[in-house]
A and B are shown apart, each in its own frame.
Chain A
Amino acid sequence: MPKRNDLEQKALHFVMNTGSAGVLQSDLWRELGASSREGSRIAIKLEEKGLIRREKELQDGRWTYRLFPKRVPASIDSIVDCPCLLCQDNARCDPTTPISPTNCPKLTDWILSLGKENPAPLGDSTLAQGLGPR
């Protein structure tokens, strides 16, 4: 039998991935291959730890709970291509020094490439293309 903590971890990931739609407790324990008793205990444990929220719901004439994640899993997606992430010049980067976020060409290129499917190449090249003079 899997350890309780492993199951809790799996259950937490499962609930986290359902997002705002949530998941029925009955679907959770079926997915985990656990019994309904185990599933219910795990859900209670996660709720006690403040990681999920349980809401009572009537499903096919039976009362069950719908589980919602309380926290959004931390994701690095929003900054994964940002040049500031792990930049070699980080220690020297300051608005008062020559290396500064105010004039960093890599940062400029990244900002201009935001929202585009293919990120722009590094260098100041995008300045001329992205935004023309008035």
Chain B
Amino acid sequence: MLSTIDDAMLIKVATALGDEDAVKLIEHLKSVEEITDDEIANKTGIRLNIVRKILYKLYDHSLVSLRRTRDPKTGWFIFHWKLQPDQLEGFILSQKRRVLEKLTIRLEYEKNHDFYYCNTNGCKRIPFEEAVELVFHCPTCGKPLAHYANEKLVQKLSEKVEQLRKELGE
């Protein structure tokens, strides 16, 4: 199947999924048809437990597939891993949908609530209903609460939601 995703995007996803080890692992996986975790560890120099951790993470998102065979000598399972680049587009779209869902919930919450804040680092904003019960005093530091303008946040959030909707064609 023809994919609209190029290698640069694959590397970006690898970076988002892990660190430089994940990038190294994906670059190696890309260059071979099928490989065992042991071989990856030997060839890339990444520790075997880290290799497995990254592979399981990729497997959770179907970005790699695995085939299991049994070692005739030891009877242990050997896992053969294969990159599935055609799943990348689906992965990106599903992650975008999930993020969009979260951001939409947040946007509605921000639009429907009035917030009060003591303007102290580390303290939380309090919605109006709760602030009334607290007689407009911060439950953490005790300072008086003042109205908190969230227009900028709502605006930035709306722009992001709109952008994601466009990208998803919704």
Interface residues of A (CB under 8 A from B): 5, 8-9, 12-13, 16, 46, 49, 51, 71-80, 82, 84-86, 90, 93, 95, 100-103, 105, 107-108, 111-112, 114-115, 123-125, 127-128, 130-134
Contact = CB atoms under 8 A, between A and B. Distances in A.
Q: How large is the interface on B (under 10, 10 to 19, 20 to 34, 35 or more residues)?
A: 35 or more
A125 B121 contact: yes
Contacts of B109: 95, 101-102
A134 B148 contact: yes
Given A75-B9, A78-B96, 4 more contacts: A78-B163, A79-B96, A112-B156, A128-B117
B93 A74 contact: yes
Dominant secondary structure at the A interface: loop
A9 to B, nearest CB: 6
B102 A131 contact: no
Contacts of A51: 2, 4
A134 B152 CA distance: 12
B6 A13 contact: yes
Nearest to B122: A124
Interface of B: 2-6, 9, 12-13, 15-17, 88-89, 92-93, 95-96, 98-99, 102-103, 105-106, 109, 116-117, 119-125, 146-150, 152-153, 156-157, 159-160, 163-164, 167
Contacts of B2: 5, 8-9, 12, 46, 49, 51
Contact of A124 (B16, B116, B123): B123
A56 to B, nearest CB: 24
Given A78-B164, A131-B153, A133-B147, A124 B121 contact: yes
Contacts of B148: 131, 133-134
B119 A132 contact: yes
Contact of A85 (B88, B95, B160, B163): B95
Given A16-B4, A111-B157, A85 B99 contact: yes
Contacts of A95: 105, 109
Nearest to A103: B124
B117 A127 contact: yes
B12 A77 contact: yes
Contacts of A76: 9, 12-13, 16, 92, 95-96
Given A111-B157, A131-B148, A84 B3 contact: no
Contacts of B95: 76, 79, 85-86
